[in-house]
Structure 1
Amino acid sequence: MTGRDLAHAALEAAKAKAKERGAPPGQRRRVVTGGQNPRRRRWSGPGADARDPQPLGRLVSRLVSDRGWNESVSGARVFAQWARLVGEDVAEHAQPVALKDGELTVRASSTAWATQLRLLQGKLLAKIAAGVGNGVVKRMRIQGPMAPSWRKGPRHVPGRGPRDTYG
């Protein structure tokens, strides 16, 4: 069966169904539109209307609020705008690692910078709150640089590490 035959069969089935309902073939069903002329187009007019084209930013912010993603988007803004929020000199030596339940974990490049960040913690929290909003980051946990781990693979035997096998 070709596409033309399928279309013809679908048209015949629709005509038969319309005949069962009592509607004469070839006549469209009239939709009741609350007292307005159905042939009249409903343009949006000169004022603002929901049918008008919307800026993408407004549509995205409406989507974010409708889906309940405000908290995660605000958290992502902390990571995306880190250098602007805390300043270039701090961002050069400290990177955000995780944000969970209002606690931002920040890893510093050295122990001296970790100490400096602990001293600046109040000012940094104020800057972050001014940039992304209050309540997004409530606390900061500052970590120093991570030491290399000798633990490799999924299994581990307790002991002194690689020195254990030297005799």
Structure 2
Amino acid sequence: MGPQPPGQGARGRDLAKAALEAAREKARARGAEPGVRRPARAGGTGSSVLRQDPRRRRWSGAGVDARDPQPLGRLASRLAVERGWNGQLAHGHVFGHWARLVGAEVAEHAQPVALRDGELTVRASSTAWATQLRLLQGQLLVKIAGAVGNGVVRRMRIQGPTAPSWRKGPRHISGRGPRDTYG
């Protein structure tokens, strides 16, 4: 019993066999051998199977591969290195994690203000804390270098609290200002 023509009691498996035989006959009529793949043509004609690079696998396999899902942190680190953002990220790390870098007690009385050319400017809450930070400066630099890397912060500039300014407006009279309170 040969293949039945479509529509006359043929079902699933028989229909698939008939379609395969018809495709093979068509390939023989064109002069191609059925079951042999030809390389894709440059013009983009041919089936979608032939257009794929035969050396490229469609699955990643058991080993580690660049196509495997990656943690977001690893992808962000790779992007930062490729774009040259590491310096800016290290600066941001100093400001964002200040309390963790120097300790809670120091962070309560001192805040980073600016980081330019390896010099970190820190403003202290009082003159006593400014003096204390100057004494701790070496230890703080070691802690910061351990967390964000060497060379990001090379020196610290400690500033005390600023005195109130008596200059109000664009015009002023030069002099020492009121001396009855701050004298």
Per the normalisation by structure 1, the TM-score is 0.71
Deviation at 1:159, TM superposition (A): 2.3
Q: 2:109 aligns with which of 93, 97, 121?
A: 93
Matched, 1:59 2:75: yes
Verify the 8 A CA contact 1:150 1:161 in the aligned structure 2: no
SS of residue matched to 1:107: strand
Q: Which amino acid aligns with 1:112?
A: A
Distance 1:23 1:111, change over 3 A: closer
Q: By percentage of residues, which structure has more helix?
A: 1
Sequence identity percentage: 67
Deviation at 1:131, TM superposition (A): 1.2
Deviation at 1:162, TM superposition (A): 7.4
SS of residue matched to 2:162: coil
CA deviation string 1:12-56 (max 9, x = no partner) = xxxxxxxxxx999xx6575362xx28xx96111111111111100
Q: Which amino acid aligns with 2:128?
A: A
Matched, 1:31 2:51: yes
CA deviation string 1:77-132 (max 9, x = no partner) = 01111111111111111010110110000000000000010011111101111111
Alignment-derived partner of residue 62 in structure 2: 46
Matched, 1:106 2:122: yes
Verify the 8 A CA contact 1:75 1:136 in the aligned structure 2: yes
Deviation at 1:157, TM superposition (A): 4.3
Deviation at 1:149, TM superposition (A): 2.4
CA deviation string 1:53-76 (max 9, x = no partner) = 110000100111111010110011
Matched, 1:125 2:125: no
Alignment-derived partner of residue 151 in structure 1: 167
SS of residue matched to 2:68: coil
**Which runs of no fewer than 5 residues in structure 1 stay unpaired?**
1-21
Q: Which structure has the bigger radius of gyration?
A: 2
- The separation in 2 between residues aligned to 1:32 and 1:53, in whole angstroms, is 23
Q: Which amino acid aligns with 1:57?
A: G
- The separation in 1 between residues aligned to 2:173 and 2:85, in whole angstroms, is 43
- CA root-mean-square deviation: 2.6
